[in-house]
A and B are shown apart, each in its own frame.
Chain A
Amino acid sequence: MASAIFFYIFAALAVGSGAAVILTKNPVHAVLFLILAFFNAAGLFVLLSAEFLAMLLVIVYVGAVAVLFLFVVMMLDVDFAELKAGFIKNAGIGALVGGIVLAEILALVGYRGLTAASTLNVASPVPAAGSDITNTQALGEILYTKYVYFFEASGLILFVAMIGAIVLTLKHREGVKRQSISAQVARGPKTGLEIIKVPSGGSVIPPAAKHPEAAE
């Protein structure tokens, strides 16, 4: 009974905040509602006793991805009038894509092969009732033992994608002064200090004027 109450609270809040994401006018509010929706989805995962997934959802999506969303949305200067004009223009395409996704979901739900018996065969993140392994362990066995090569392959793909993103954006500018901390730390009296004998009555050009980088 208590889990039913919590299910309806989380489900209603998730649907409500999901609707608010697209209905609210302020994009920052939309992202905040999106975060609320993530939270409620995590709550639903907890009710399914998939607490590992729930925590990962909060850590990855709420703690990292949504922060970047917020950064971008706050920094961008969004023009509302332009946004609304785009809405009318693209409404047809949006409705088409939405319709296709809806049809696909309905087809999947209505698919006859998807019986209760077949869903049991799907590798589930929630261990079978009565077994004493936690769902963290169950997930680990599936991901790191059974499908370890797929896991490694996906890791490699992500790694390549990351390097690609860095290569695309990294501009190594020449002629910029950079701090070399190890050089600074290694600097001692022998390298940082120079004692010059100045002849009485004469003058000496300080070495700093000859080597500008030494003046730092």
Chain B
Amino acid sequence: MNEQQGPSANGVRSNPISLNIEFSGGLEILFSNQRDHRIQLPAKDSSGEPANIMFLVHYLCENLMKDRRKDLFLLHGGIRPGILVLINDADWELEGEEEYLVQDGDIILFVSTLHGG
């Protein structure tokens, strides 16, 4: 499925990282009305640090998001309140939040909390 598995977790690889990005709870509206995206993320950020979740979030904002209402996804430099980030179906808080280093094949799900009833 993935063209290349990352050999290690120490961030030495430089091949792009294949990720499955998913949006739910209405966030897909900001991403061309598409729930599932497959992306290739550069393995390192501009300062050479291995790609973490915050790098991914900014990358998505700049490269995948066509809607100009950026603050519905990213607010004051962080994920907008009301959006949950799930790394392979687990709350990102269980995985180190913004610092989590994304791995080849990860499924990153962004869920906007619903309030209707």
Q: Do A and B bind each other?
A: no
